[in-house]
Structure 1
Amino acid sequence: MEKQKMEERLIDDICNYIDYLQGDHFGYRITLHQTENHVGTYFYRFLRYNYHDCQVCKEIKNFPRAWQHCIDRQEKVKEAAGRHPILGTCYAGVTEYVFPLYAISGRTWGFICFSGFSQNPEVSMERACAAAARFKIPKDKLVRAVNSLDRDIPDFDTLSAQAAPLQNMFTLLFHLMNPEHDISASNPKEAIYLKMSTHMNHSYRNPDFSLKELADKMNLNYSYVSHIFSKYSKASFSNRLRSLRIEAAKKYLEYTDDTVSMIASAVGFNDSNYFSHIFLTETGLTPTQWRHRYLEQK
């Protein structure tokens, strides 16, 4: 219970600090990316920081192919930022600072963006026009959006100092939520099962994740992993995986305005129709009905 209180207080501190930086005094546009698999059931607390609110990004989000391209680029951005913070302009013309979020091990487990700028208006306009042509976005809308970008880019040293508390708080949160060396188990087999559960919590968003892949990740025999899971889990692997995905989907429906198709993809379903069918089977409501009910009760 004390650990849970510490986690919740730390998350409150992170959210309050982001809100402070986004407030009237600084007015930064801040987003968090690639952290979902490392903050456990608390991932929904950060969903409101998953999307840029500059006008360019709002326009991009209205076009699924363009939006998916943004999502697909995130892994490469994380890899690049893992070496050092970067300042760059995205394919749609938005300039942003990117700061890595590290685990105690030094691995990069996510990144923070300070976005909504235009370092070079000509480059921003050129890239926006290319994006409009590529993804069939009305050019005039992106042009207006690019013209609204902030050309007053903050000093890197100042921004680095302001980002540092966020980076440090996330490092601590990652450690609390992923105690790789603090697993409490009564015997070696139970310890293996607890590690399996951790792997599932990190990987369930991957549509190709399977018991075989889990066994491969742990360098264990498939049959042995299947036996351990059956021994200690109240549900089958497939049911547990489905439950993780549906529970995550509920939070996306409640805390974002993402389309059902986007949510299906975010939680590990390749087919949004199949996702809707499973969601209805598990909850008795369609995804849209679930969202409406939550908004009515809010």
Structure 2
Amino acid sequence: MKKVILVDDEIAIRENIRSSVDWEKEGFHYCGDAPDGEMALPLIEEWAPDILITDIKMPFMDGLELASVVRAQKPNIKIIIMSGHDEFRYAQEAIRLGVTEYCLKPVSAAELLQILHQVSQKMDEEEQRMMSLAMTKEKLLADLCGGLIGTSDAIDSAKKLSLPLSARFYAIAIVDIRLHDESQYSEQLLNKTLHVLETACSVHAELLAYIRSRTELVLLLKSNSEDSINTCLEALRGHTRLELEQLFNCSIILGIGSMQERLQGIHISYLEADEDKYITRLTLQNKASLRGIQLHEKMNICLDRHQFLEFLKLGSPQLRDSFVREFASPLKPVDWHTSTYGFYLLNDLTLESFRMANQLFRMGADADENIRSLQQMIESIGNWEHCKQYLCTLLDQLWQRRAASSGKYSDVIDQVKSYVSQQYNNEQVSLKTISAHVRISSSHLSKIFSQETGQTITEYLTQVRINKAKELLKTTSNKTFEVAYKVGYNDPHYFSNIFKKTTGCTPKEFRSQGAMPFHEPPSDQIEEPMYD
């Protein structure tokens, strides 16, 4: 029922309207009345009516003044103005204030009911429109995340919804709310959570969101600045998450996807966020299991996870067995039949490996199935040999994933290499200028180039420049400083240092010895600083 409040300074009119209408039967709830606008304001605040009926001519605060205050403070309230003064200026001012209906006294009960039903119908239609709009917005966001809508269709739909969708950068975060009291789950809780998140993010980035399930919100963060989105994500991981957990007495599980520069990339970020949330949940469950392990079972075992993750990134299959043998040696004392501590350590290592792999390359839709399969293998470990076999399997599976994901950025890599081959002699070439040329963010470009080629963009630029320098040293009589300038180095001393680190000899020695064999130094010795 729509709640109605009446404001009129004539008590006879108030009593007549109150008693001559069967409010409940007509679908309305009569909250009460007041003699003037000043007296009505606290009642409006307390009763939160849907419809305000007010006279114009009243002492202290007249109807137009009351309407002005209500429109500013409670814009959803519909206002019906009654007036005994048939003057155009009153109607004109009422229209300017956004009054819903304007009628002349005296007004009969039948006329007032007709107006009330008209206003009520307008309110229902507006609510239906808003619900339809909200559902369409949620569907658009869900389709973008699910990869079910193309760029042009998404832009067209967003325009029809007056939804600001365009930005330079996008990222997806999934918020899973786990209440300590499950009976309190409600859509209202998710809306309250969303309000906190919108407030927290509004300073830095724009937030679009939809409800994915009864416990989950999907957040689309967008901005023209990478730093702004990263600031929001860091807050979400830190103090914003803690604030939500304290406010609603719950646990928050987050999943965060990578930064993307195209609308179609939202789908990739969504898949990564979903995978990250899944791994985070399993990690929390695994840590909870540690509390159930008896103190005497927690052996003094130290597994160097960083060493394993580095080998996963850079190691070769040929060195796999020897690496695993050395890495797993601290697990030799574990009695797999009487202690669960070894299972905890391997499970934790597996989840951390998948988390890192998810950051390096997209894992695919069946990554959760792989994790479950690997966890089953962990449970079946009975001795140290089984443990080593498992670690080899883990490395093989993730390496296969890396190989399967390669090649999809070949066009971008070709663009980078082509640009470097044309611009290597320009001292101003940097990661920033290259990323601007290929229209991909510097952080993402750096990631995919390293992933696809096995070297950084800086290393590749240095390699191209030094190869060109060797060619000039062999085929021209140019002095060292001239060669340096022609390959993009304005400082000949710096060029000589880089040349020696890369080739093992100075430019002068290289020229005097002819085509000297190339000595590849460790990658950390040829890194040339890039100035953005």
TM (norm. structure 1) is: 0.35
Give 1 or 2 for the bigger CA radius of gyration. Answer: 2
Which structure has the higher relative contact order (CA within 8 Å, separation 6+)? 1
TM (norm. structure 2) is: 0.20
